[in-house]
Structure 1
Amino acid sequence: MAVVSIPLNAVAYQSLSVPLSGHVIRLELQQRSTGLFAALWCDGAACLSGVLCQDRSWLVRKAYYGLPGDFAFVDTQGTDSPAYTGLGARFVLVYEEGRNV
């Protein structure tokens, strides 16, 4: 299965909607003092919230959350967990369809 990169901006809070696997996936990212956290919706239905984003760690992991695939951040310069200042450059968000099935 193909891995797709999701474009992000280097801002502390962002919300974006992207068409993936025939669904509209909404993603919110929020930088807190304890790390970067994600919330995910699929076709308007909330699936996950408060997920800590870590380097090369899948966010969804289970199909019963209702998402058609999974997301992970990759540190292109090492193995640090993502911080908003490097989003879209150092820290890349990838999506893989069917990864959590």
Structure 2
Amino acid sequence: MADPVVIPLSAVAYQSLKLTLSGQPVQLDIQQRTNGLYATIWLDGSMILAGIICQDRTWIVRRAYLGMPGDLVFIDQYGQNDPDYTGLGTRYVLMYEAGKNV
């Protein structure tokens, strides 16, 4: 397995990123709602997960059959709180690990 990669996020309530992970085009939509932070993931133009709650140290994809070549996880660098948009990119870091869910 490769070393984990930090996904750059900004402290805004809604953001959409297009990036390449393990050679595959991925789009991440991150949205703050009243009851938490949620992610929608697109792989090669097809939505594979929609509205998944983001929690501290909990893998997001977890299912190899979805085709994602790895998995994503938020890490609270100063405790064990679930992520909130105000700390994205600083307190709460999104990591990608290739081969994690395969």
Q: How many residues align?
A: 101
Aligned to 2:30: 29
Q: Any idea what SS the aligned residue of 1:50 has?
A: strand
Give aligned-pair identity as a percent. 56
Measured after TM superposition, the shift of residue 66 of structure 1 is 1.5
Measured after TM superposition, the shift of residue 65 of structure 1 is 1.3
Aligned to 2:15: 14
Q: Any idea what SS the aligned residue of 1:79 has?
A: coil
Aligned to 1:89: 90
Show structure 2 runs of 5+ residues with no match. Answer: none
Deviations 1:50-82 (A, max 9, x none): 100000000000101121110000000000000
Measured after TM superposition, the shift of residue 17 of structure 1 is 0.7
Aligned to 2:73: 72
Deviations 1:2-30 (A, max 9, x none): 10000000000000011110111100000
Show structure 1 runs of 5+ residues with no match. Answer: none
User: Which stretch of the first structure deviates more once superposed, 61-70 or 85-94?
Assistant: 61-70
Structure 1 stretches (4+) deviating beyond 3 angstroms? none
